[in-house]
Every structure is written in C-alpha cells, then in structure tokens.
Amino acid sequence: MTPVVGRKATGLVAATFTPLTPEGEINLSEIRPYIDYLLEQQGVKSIFVNGTTGEGMSLTVEERKLLAEEWCHKGKNKLEQVIVHVGCMSLKDSQELARHAAEIGADGIAVISPSFFKPATADALRMFLQEVAAAAPAVPFYYYHIPAVTGVNLRSRDVLEGIEKQIPSFQGLKFSGSDLMDFGQCVSYSPSHWSLLYGIDEQLLGGLAMGANGAVGSTYNYLGSSVNRLMSAFHKGDLPNARTLQFQVQDILCYAIKMGFDLAVNKQLMSEVSGLALGPPRLPLLPCPQPKAHSIAQRLQQILGEQ
C-alpha cells in the first residue's frame, strides 16, 4: 500500500478546551471566536481537539463528532492543521470517530492507548492503533503517548517499531511523557516526514533539544505568543533567551500548582485570560472557583510583563 504523506505538523499546536454551557452541554457557538483568539492573540495556527485538555474521554461519541465537525468547519482556510483525537476505550467507537474525521476533512487523527483494559505489550497496542487507522486510511495518523494519564507505560520507541508497515498513514507521535531518552530514541528512529510533537509544556526546551518538530499543549491556548518566541529563540540558537522564556512558563505553572492546578483550573484560567466563555468542566472534574483562576491570571500577566 502507498504510504499517506500528510503535511508535516510543526510549531505550536493548542490542545483545545471544550466549551460547555453553564448547564454542561457542548457550546459550539464559542468555537469560531476561540479560533480567532488563537490566531490573532496567540499566533497559534494548529489545534488538537477532543484530547485530554478537551475532556474527550468524558464526551459522548455524538458530542465528539459535533465538536470535531465545528472545529474543522470553522477552522477551514484559517488554521494550518486540525488534528482530531479519536481514541476511546472501545475500538469500535474509535473506528467510528476515525471514519467521521475523514468525512469532515480533518488534517490528522490521533489515538491514545485504551486505559481501562490496558494493552499488555507494544505489539498489542500497535494492533489496536492499526485497526483504528484502517478505518480512515487516507488520514495522517498520530500515536498519542500520555503515560501519566493512561497508566500505560510502554515505551513509545517500542510502539513505533515497524509501525509504517502496519499503518501506512502513520505521520508521527504526540509525546506527553517526561522520559526524554524514550523521546530521543523515537526522534532518532523517525523518517524525516514524521512529526514528533512534544507535550509537556513546562519542559518544551528539553523536547526541542532532543529534536521535537513542534509541541502540543494546553498552555499554548493562553501562552502561545510567548512560547512562539521561545521556539524562535531556540531555532536561532539563542539559548539564553529561550531558557528565560521557558522559565517564565515554569514560574507561572509553579504558582498555579501551588494554588492546586488541574484541568478545571486550567480551563477557567483560559476563560480569564481570553475572555471566552468556556464554561465549567464536566463531572467528575469540579469547577474551579473564579477567584483562584483570577489570581493565577494576574500572576501570569505579572510574570509575562517582567520580560
């Protein structure tokens, strides 16, 4: 089978939050202004939807389809890439979402490992990924590694072994892990058309040094402009400046962690910084008290103002 070679994803990719109404229903009307905010205020041109930040696993298949469709339609001719996360606990649900992503013209699909019944080996995980990818064979495919959330600690490098033979549409890896040796081994194994996207925002510089082509993360929703400068400084070889900008991200997150940082806080923080009405998270996540997010947003402005 001829390999599918998609456009290589590079630069910053915002892992989007899912806008909900105060009543907890998906709020599609907020998606157009959200895209405009990312482009105009943060200089972020690509998005990753229905992932961890988007509470994809807490949404129904139908809701995920509606959201993916809205992000793709409203992002058309504006965004560079819309990558849709289609991973589910059920292979059948993942295949349904993969087929749907193909129909709506997604630029890529990504799949996380199932985490209730976990794959016992890298081979088992690759077989799962292969079955999902086969449902949308013309759509560039990414494996999404996030061991702290899934509890699946298989080395990504083992998952990538021979993967293009099984998945001709394989396009890259979204690596949200802290094991830079495993990430480095993935980079050194990768053909040049793959895209290796790093996913721990507070240590992006380490990922870039190891060879990441870009980054996917939640904080690029509201720190994109600053992290774009970090990436440019790195690519120009200006490490002191890149480090200063990375330390700012770390200072913001350290403050947020002290205040009790989780996805609910992160989502409310994005609402505070952007002015978008993203609504509450979905249970079992509990809404973040507004003053907490407000305090983090103030610290963020202060730290960014200090540059």
Ligand X SMILES: CC(=O)N[C@@H]([C@@H](O)[C@H](O)[C@H](O)CO)[C@@H](O)CC(=O)C(=O)O
Q: Which parts of this chain interact with ligand X (CB under 6 A)?
A: 15, 48, 51-53, 148-149, 176, 199-202, 216-219, 253
Distance of closest approach, residue 148 Cβ to ligand X, in angstroms = 6
CB 220 within 8 A of CB 43: no
Distance of closest approach, residue 220 Cβ to ligand X, in angstroms = 8
* 216 has binding-site annotation: yes
CB 41 within 8 A of CB 298: no
Distance of closest approach, residue 263 Cβ to ligand X, in angstroms = 6
Kindly tell me which of 88 and 253 has the beta carbon lying closer to ligand X: 253
CB atoms < 10 A from the CB of 170, how many? 25
CB 215 within 8 A of CB 207: yes
Q: Is 174 a catalytic residue?
A: yes
Kindly tell me which of 65 and 267 has the beta carbon lying closer to ligand X: 267
Kindly tell me which of 119 and 147 has the beta carbon lying closer to ligand X: 147
Distance of closest approach, residue 210 Cβ to ligand X, in angstroms = 16
Give the span between the Cα atoms of 12 and 225, in whole angstroms: 10
* 187 has binding-site annotation: no
Give the span between the Cα atoms of 20 and 30, in whole angstroms: 9
Backbone angles phi, psi at 285, to 5 degrees: -70, 140
Token representation of residue 281:
């998270």
Q: Name the residue with the smallest CB distance to ligand X.
A: 51
CB atoms < 10 A from the CB of 152, how many? 17
Kindly tell me which of 123 and 255 has the beta carbon lying closer to ligand X: 255
Catalytic member of 37, 45, 143, 174: 174
Pairing of strands 46-49, 195-198: unpaired
Catalytic member of 144, 198, 220, 222: 144
Active site residues: 144, 174
Q: Which residues are annotated as a binding site?
A: 53, 216
Q: Which residues are annotated as a binding site for pyruvate?
A: 53, 216
